Structure 1
Amino acid sequence: MTGSRWRVHGRRQVYGSPWVELWLDDVDIPGVGRIEHHVVRMPRASTSAVVTDEHGRFLLIHRHRFITGRWGWEVPAGWAEPGEEPAAAIAREVEEETGWRPGKVELMTEYDAMAGISDAHFRSYHVTACRRIGEPRDTSEAARVEWLTEAEVVGLLVGGEICDGPSHAALSYYLGPYRLAREGR
């Protein structure tokens, strides 16, 4: 099936900050006509990491998210600073949020989380060979930092205790296609 591309006639910024921008794009949708379409733009690269150790455990953080009002388990994640490579950004985030310094950082996958309304592009990494360097530097990021078994992580995913999108996507991808591809299946 072949479709037609939407044509953009112009755009206007409604709100902007270093973290998020809201735009109204004047678009012509084939078969629909011309409309104003809301677009959420993210000025910085988003990164997340599935951190594993030699025992097959996963390093997760437990935190409260005020926007949703929920507590949940998450993988380390964050934004790249302007000019910072995403792989370097996630290494920095893992260390700041957990107190563990990554040894190896490997890109697992990239995806557009909400392609219908946002340009939010996520990169998920697999981080291994971590070395404990002390307490987390950013204490606002987590109430707890723990190494959990694969069975515990799967239970948290199934039980809804891993509820943020980047963590859910990164862990599900790691437990499925990433591992299968590495095992040659």
Structure 2
Amino acid sequence: MRRSERLLYTANGADLRVVDVAQADGEHVEQPFIRTPRAAGAVTFQGGRVLLLWRHHLVTDTWGWEIPLGEIGPDEEPEAAAARHLEEQTGWRPGPLLPLIRIRPAEDVADCDHLIFLAHEASPGAAPAGAEEAEWLPVLHIQQLMDEQAITSATTSAALLYFLANLLQARAPH
């Protein structure tokens, strides 16, 4: 049972906190965790391909493919945030977005909530704001990219695997 929580440090919209937890035997344990704002993103699928970003991860100093994802602004609907981040980060404007999956990628160490949507079409929009590379990759290569550690993000992995499971289920004989 949670008893108290205190802030240790805050930067760039993320907090490092410690929660005091009473265990079943009555002993108390302090558990550090990170609290981040809610985020929204999108799996964009069109013509047998998914739209992914080639991103550098500062903490691990590695590169990998990810779905577009970003913070949900104050008073912003998650779907609107997903569409905004998709266009800002890739230069592609999504068609209608459908809810796909809600992910909490690191519940033992972080309080982050990612709402992921699905777009079955996209059209060219404004030039992307960042220097990241956006590319349409064959959906059949997702497993290979995961095997090669070119996709390691928990949110991206869960969203793409969930999408693929839905795709297979829809095509399976009933």
- Fold shared by both chains (TM-score > 0.5): yes
Unaligned runs of 5+ in 2: none
Aligned to 2:24: 30
The answer for the alignment partner of 2:139 in structure 1 is: 150
1:62-115 per-position Cα deviation (integer Å, ceiling 9, x unaligned): 122221111111111111112211111010000001111111111111122222
| SS of aligned partner of 2:13 | coil
Give the paired residue count. Answer: 173
Q: Residue 179 of structure 1: which of 156, 167, 172 is its match?
A: 167
CA RMSD, Structure 1 to Structure 2 (Å): 1.8
| Aligned position for 2:156 | 167
Higher strand share: 2
Offset of residue 32 of structure 1 = 5.8
Aligned counterpart for 1:9 among listed residues 3, 14, 35: 3
> Paired residue for 1:73?
65
Gaps of at least 5 residues in structure 1 are 1-5
8 Å contact from structure 2 (residues 88, 126) kept in 1: no
Equivalence map 1:16-165=2 (5 Å): 16-17=10-11, 19-31=13-25, 33-42=27-36, 44-53=37-46, 55-136=47-128, 138-140=129-131, 142=132, 144-165=133-154
- Which residue identity lines up with residue 130 of structure 2 in the other structure? T
What is the TM-score with the length of structure 1 in the denominator? Answer: 0.85
TM-score w.r.t. structure 2 length?
0.90
Identity across matched positions, percent: 29
